[in-house]
Amino acid sequence: MQTVVYPGTFNPITNGHTDLVERAAKIFDRVVVAVGTSTQKSSHMSLEMRVELCREVLGHISNVDVCAFTCLLTDFMREMDAKLILRGLRTVADFEYEFQLVGMNRVLAPEIETLFLAPAEHFSYISSTLVREIAAYRGDVSQFVHPAVAAAMRITD
């Protein structure tokens, strides 16, 4: 059974994230959406809330599991007995950052490979950071996120 792990903070999960998961679910037997924390990012929503929203947004895809992780990704991969990491690429800047992560992960766990997917063109400009910025100014984020996420962002701001 081929399992791929799609890690991120999903702060919040966007339509771009959903697009990648839907396409990955057609390629792999199992997709694990691993919702994590980051020492470099402040979370708008709690880890539990982000996991709950990911489960709601992705619930229509039968071969997707959503879970939280609070350790090194390579350790989580070993716990999941997974050898493939899925990452999304929108821009050249994303690639530079992701390339650094690939190098670090190869040193920490040489048995793990990273695969990249680009979102559909009409999602390529969406980022969680921009969605949070729009929401912070009480802007309408409904065209960038699932309705449940938009509602949660209105409640937590």
Q: Indicate which CATH number applies to the domain containing 14.
A: 3.40.50.620
Q: Tell me which of 17, 50, 132, 146 is the catalytic residue.
A: 17
The active-site residue out of 38, 41, 60, 142 is 41
**Using CA atoms, how far apart are residues 151 and 135, in angstroms rounded to an integer?**
11
Identified catalytic residue from 23, 78, 83, 90: 90
Indicate if 17 belongs to the active site: yes
Residue 128 bears catalytic tag: yes
127 a catalytic residue: no
Query: What does the pLDDT average to over 118-143?
Result: 93
User: Does 26 participate in catalysis according to the annotation?
Assistant: no
When the pLDDT of each residue in the chain is averaged and rounded to a whole number, the result is 93
Domains in the chain: how many in total?
1
pLDDT of residue 132: 93
Burial of 33 (0-12, 13-18, 19+ CB in 10 A): buried
In this prediction, residue 155 carries a pLDDT of 74
Residue 17 scores a pLDDT above 60: yes
Per-residue pLDDT, averaged over 124-134, amounts to 93
What's residue 40's pLDDT? 66
| Short-list 64, 79, 6, 80, CA closest to 30 | 64
Measured between alpha carbons, how far is 114 from 85 in angstroms, rounded to an integer? 5
Question: Which is the catalytic residue, given 44, 50, 87, 128?
Answer: 128
- DSSP lists the bridge partners of residue 45 as none
**Mean pLDDT value of segment 114-136:** 93
Query: Over 70: is that where the pLDDT of 66 sits?
Result: yes
Range of the domain at 62: 3-156
pLDDT band at residue 115 under the 50/70/90 scheme: very high
95 pLDDT more than 90: no
